[in-house]
Structure 1
């Protein structure tokens, strides 16, 4: 059937993440070979029917986002904190979509998964969102987009909660950091008062960061190096 025989079939292993997806992925790849074998070998009695193949392919597609998220999270040669929210967002969207599936087996599966998923989402989504806000390719724009997709009309409340937590965390961190400023002697007391009043309305470093244009979405970025450089510029 002109298929790459080196790819091989995979078996489901209950103790291995994504093994079900990998099993279905390999089976779908060799579908034509299985169907051909059914035609030429009368002893091959267990070839899936057309409807079963469609079910296999549907579940494979459903599980794909979990597989890709696991691969991203398992990386050891790059920072991954900023990758969590986009991947987990895709999982949430996928579960919500399949919760309304016309296929009963998939709808029941998605509902069971969603009930467990939402427990962890409620506990950790904010800290994951803050991590991706600190990625200059995403910032608050991505959170706004995701929450509108997930919550619809209720997205503003969720978005403002993240916004408040972000600045609360920033102020806490900023308060713990040493303040570096140069004290310039000014002769006129009126200017001293003006300067003190003006400081109160100056934008914070976080606001300045958020106001800057986002980097290209597909830009290759060492995010740790980016923030090291940012920190150096701020201290200067």
Structure 2
């Protein structure tokens, strides 16, 4: 049992960090790259700058992919949210988008401007809902808010999926290999 625990621990230890988790942390306006840098100095103070550069490069590469998809606009943030209280972007919101895009220089992206802004004071914003922050700033950061929505909605752990497979093995035993999928689903749901 100790060997199995050691394998699990090695799987989740800090030196095998998750790039997705690091990018999600950067999209929290209270921390941005500062907390990522701090964490890497704790893990490996010798090469932490290289690891921070990798996170930043990954962020820029992902953001470039979002920029390529130019057919997606701010209105889709509202329509894809699945909520009944969908707001319609009015003309002044469109003007704000136009104005924010006209201020951007060709060398700097929304991601660059976001990273250059000072971080929010953590103690004053302890209860900050990060997804709400990005929804509120969807006019200023139209593409970046889409990226944030997608990145921050990814479960940052594999525990849920591993747990689901473990439950499946207990519900459908080796003597029930020919069970119909509908019956297997009913068994899984009734145990939930």
TM-score by length of 1: 0.41
> Looking at both structures, which has the greater relative contact order when contacts are Cα pairs under 8 Å and sequence separation is at least 6?
2
Larger Rg: 1
Higher share of residues assigned helix: 1
Q: TM-score, normalised by structure 2?
A: 0.49
